[in-house]
């Protein structure tokens, strides 16, 4: 009788073990979300230049000197100072022409102070 209890116990243990293994193998892990729901940075097209990008790009070139004017940044005023280098030139028209053909149009013209 003792042998039969041992055999039955081993049989039940084996069945329980295989049952647990079957359950673990049959349960597939759920797919976790790619993000946690927090803020994700927006994808900005490469062709879009923001004001801060344009300002950073221009700041690396300062002081910028052309044949008609020069540009420096005045930190106290928070503006770009445009001073003419050729006295016989209309500063406003030359600056407007440069501004429209430049890659700094994202910077508002109000950030430039023309000094005649």
Domain extent, residue 63, equals: 51-115
Residue-wise pLDDT tens digits, 29-69:
666 666 666 666 666 565 566 788 888 888 888 888 888 88
Identify the CA nearest to 81 among candidates 100, 91, 89: 91
Residue 17 lies in a domain: no
User: What is the structure's pLDDT at 24?
Assistant: 64
Domain membership of residue 5 (yes or no) is no
Q: What is the mean pLDDT of residues 98-105?
A: 86
**pLDDT at position 4 over 90:** no
For the chain, how many structural domains are there in total? 1
Convert 25-59 to b/e letters by CB count within 10 Å (16 or more is b). Answer: eeeeeeeeeeeeeeeeeeeeeeeebeeeebbeebe
In a domain, 83, yes or no: yes
pLDDT tens per residue, range 10-40? 878 786 776 666 666 665 566 666 666 666 6
3-state DSSP assignment of residue 86: coil
């Amino acid at each position: 009788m003792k042998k039969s209890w041992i055999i039955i116990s081993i049989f039940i243990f084996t069945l329980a073990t295989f049952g647990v293994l079957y359950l673990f193998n049959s349960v597939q892990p759920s797919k976790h979300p790619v993000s946690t729901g927090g803020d994700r940075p927006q994808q900005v097209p490469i062709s879009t230049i923001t004001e801060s990008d344009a300002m950073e790009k221009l700041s690396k070139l300062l002081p910028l000197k052309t044949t008609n004017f020069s540009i420096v940044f005045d930190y106290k005023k928070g503006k770009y100072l445009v001073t003419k280098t050729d006295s016989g030139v209309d500063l406003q028209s030359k600056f407007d022409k440069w501004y429209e053909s430049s890659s700094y149009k994202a910077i508002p013209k109000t950030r430039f102070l023309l000094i005649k």
